[in-house]
Chain A
Amino acid sequence: MELTGITSYLIISFILFLAGLLTVVSKRNIIGIFMGIELILNSAALNFAAFSRLTARSLEGQMVSLFVIVLAAAEAAIALALLLAIYKRYRDINADNLTTLKW
């Protein structure tokens, strides 16, 4: 297995994905959860770019990566605006305490 082959990029992006998954599931701070979401999106974009260069040898995977980066930035803006609105209302960003919508 060569070191800069496709497998090592897949393993790296999988480690990023698992770290993001652990962060999303187990953090209490909403910003911590959001960092996990960013890690997951980052791993998907890296995966697309790796396949585009090393397997498909075309530029379309990088196109998808570009759109993933744009969407992640847009989602960052909305998520943090929501976070500011929640903080203004409840003065608390602990995800376990925000249970008003729970039935």
Chain B
Amino acid sequence: MTLGLREIVFISVALLTALPCLIVVFSRNILYSAFALFFTFLGTSGLYFFLDAEFLGITQVVVYIGGVSVLLLFAILLTKNIDEIRKTNMMSGVRMIMAGFGALALLGSFGYALTGSVWAMNGKGEYPSTTIKGLGDLLLSKYLMPFEVVSILLLAVLVGSLVIARRSVK
């Protein structure tokens, strides 16, 4: 395991992804959790760039950070409690302990299974150098049906969220 520049950058991006997760779980201030979630998405985008998935990395930044995180912050600020912000994201103690035990058990068993298993490699597949052309070809040829269904779904989401959150008509 050589420790070149690529490995050092990979370790730092992996830490950028994994450490804010702990802040999301264990923080009692919901604004801290929201900003830590932002850093997790940024780290995941960096990991997509390590996987040569540059379109996916950019889409992650635009959709998750620019869309979902901003929406989350708007929702937090619109539903802010009158009392202090520092205690807005409390955890239930009993559920936390039991979930923690379950998570540790899963971590042990899955960690053992993941590090010990050998994944079958597809030797004859070739990976294109830029993904966006290949993704566009796939989206309009083989995955045309999910593409159209997702567009109808987005229309339904648009209309539905307007209907749900509007002022009730007297």
Q: Which residues of A contact B (CB under 8 A)?
A: 1-4, 6-12, 14-16, 18-23, 25-29, 31-32, 34-36, 38-39, 42, 45-46, 49-60, 62-63, 65-67, 69-74, 76-78, 80-85, 87, 93, 96
Contacts and interface: CB of A to CB of B under 8 A. Distances in A.
B24 A84 contact: no
Interface in B94-150: 95-96, 98-100, 102-103, 106-107, 110-111, 114-115, 119-122, 125-128, 131, 134-135, 138-139, 143, 146, 150
Nearest to A32: B89
Interface residues of B, number: 84
Contacts of B114: 7, 10-11, 14
25 contacts: A3-B7, A4-B7, A4-B10, A9-B51, A11-B114, A21-B103, A23-B25, A25-B99, A27-B92, A28-B89, A28-B90, A31-B34, A34-B72, A35-B37, A45-B44, A55-B119, A57-B121, A58-B122, A60-B138, A70-B63, A74-B154, A78-B160, A83-B75, A84-B165, A96-B92
A32 B59 CA distance: 24
A3 B10 contact: yes
A56 B122 contact: yes
Contacts of B1: 1-3
B25 A29 contact: no
Interface of B: 1, 6-7, 10-11, 14, 17-18, 21-22, 24-25, 30, 33-34, 37, 40-41, 44, 47-48, 50-53, 55-56, 59-60, 63-64, 67-68, 71-72, 74-76, 78-79, 81, 88-92, 95-96, 98-100, 102-103, 106-107, 110-111, 114-115, 119-122, 125-128, 131, 134-135, 138-139, 143, 146, 150, 153-154, 157-158, 160-162, 164-165
